[in-house]
Amino acid sequence: MCVSCLNHTDGEPLRRCSGFWVDWDEDKKTGLVLTTAWLIRTKDSPDSGEEYAPRADVTVHLLNGTSAKGDLVYYQPHYDIAFLNIEVDQPIKLPSFCEEGVKFAEDVFRLGRDNSLNLRITYARAEYQNPNMYRRYHNVHFRSPDGHGDDNEYDNGGLAIDLKEKVVGMVNLPKRFWSFIPSSILFNCLDSWKKYRRG
């Protein structure tokens, strides 16, 4: 799935990235999409002074050729995640997550959608690095075997999967650091949001 954000003031595209389903409510016929908070970021800053537009109009482009309004229900700048609620008229297939966590040098694939919703797949290996002042300490990094990365920004917010097609994380900042947020952190954020959203 591809997620596109339109600026709420003038209708111009602000950012475009990928996202994926993490929950389905049969009664309400709504799905929950996980993507990057970068989608609604209006100002980048290396010293954590980023600015966000939580009321931006978000359009979600689905693989069946339709579009739907995405309602931002939560975003977390520190972990760079955002949850969008989307009305869909049919059940959706949720991905399977890897529960053990990704291992050093494990083969992984970065998945994203381009402007035409074509699937982009980039092969790499998981690598742990000490973060510098611009990186988040909880991210795992991609290392391309040939030393060259395919750094398409539309992969941001997309899936990182292992050879068993299990989700090991969400792609984060592919153009700058080739990194992803591990699925264990995504699980914790999703569980916390579900626990406290009504209370």
Q: What is the pLDDT of residues 23-68, one digit of tens each?
A: 999 999 999 999 999 888 888 766 667 888 888 889 898 888 888 9
**Largest pairwise CA distance in the chain:** 49
Question: Do 88 and 169 lie in a common domain?
Answer: no
Question: Do 176 and 129 lie in a common domain?
Answer: yes
- 40-46 — which CB contacts under 8 Å span 24+ positions? 40/5, 40/14, 40/15, 40/72, 40/75, 40/82, 41/15, 42/14, 46/133, 46/134
Asked which of 94, 127, 154 is the last residue of a domain, the reply is 94
The string of pLDDT tens digits covering residues 161-186 is 999 999 999 988 755 557 888 998 89
Question: Do 8 and 84 lie in a common domain?
Answer: yes
Asked which of 50, 69, 94 is the last residue of a domain, the reply is 94
CA dist list (Å): 36 to 26, 27, 155, 173, 180: 25, 27, 10, 9, 11
Residue 128 belongs to a domain: yes
Question: Do 36 and 115 lie in a common domain?
Answer: no
Question: Do 87 and 38 lie in a common domain?
Answer: yes
pLDDT band at 132; cut points 50, 70, 90? low
Residue 194 belongs to a domain: no
Residue 197 belongs to a domain: no
Question: Do 6 and 90 lie in a common domain?
Answer: yes
| 181: exposed, middle or buried (Cβ count in 10 Å: 0-12, 13-18, 19+) | buried
Residue 68 belongs to a domain: yes
Q: Say how many domains are in the chain.
A: 2
Question: Do 116 and 172 lie in a common domain?
Answer: yes
Question: Do 39 and 68 lie in a common domain?
Answer: yes
Question: Do 25 and 84 lie in a common domain?
Answer: yes
Q: How far apart are the first and last CA of the chain?
A: 30
Residue 160 belongs to a domain: yes
Quote the CA–CA distance of 54 and 40 in Å, as a whole number. Answer: 6
Of 45, 27, 47, 34, nearest to 1 (Cα)?
Answer: 34
Question: Do 90 and 114 lie in a common domain?
Answer: no
Confidence at residue 95, expressed as pLDDT on a 0 to 100 scale: 92
Question: Do 119 and 53 lie in a common domain?
Answer: no
Of 100, 118, 61, 58, nearest to 82 (Cα)?
Answer: 58
- Sign for the pseudo-dihedral over CA of 158, 162, 166, 168: negative
Confidence at residue 107, expressed as pLDDT on a 0 to 100 scale: 92
Confidence at residue 90, expressed as pLDDT on a 0 to 100 scale: 85
CATH number, domain containing residue 87: 2.40.10.10
Residue 124 belongs to a domain: yes
Residue 196 belongs to a domain: no
Q: Round the average pLDDT of the chain to a whole number and report it.
A: 82
Residue 152 belongs to a domain: yes
The answer to whether residue 152 scores a pLDDT higher than 60 is yes
Quote the CA–CA distance of 121 and 174 in Å, as a whole number. Answer: 13
Confidence at residue 154, expressed as pLDDT on a 0 to 100 scale: 74
Confidence at residue 166, expressed as pLDDT on a 0 to 100 scale: 94
Confidence at residue 199, expressed as pLDDT on a 0 to 100 scale: 43
Question: Do 117 and 180 lie in a common domain?
Answer: yes
**pTM of the complete model:** 0.86
How many percent of the chain have pLDDT more than 70? 77
**Phi/psi at 155 (5° precision):** -70, -20
For residue 84, what are the domain limits?
Answer: 2-94
Asked which of 69, 94, 119 is the last residue of a domain, the reply is 94
Confidence at residue 175, expressed as pLDDT on a 0 to 100 scale: 58
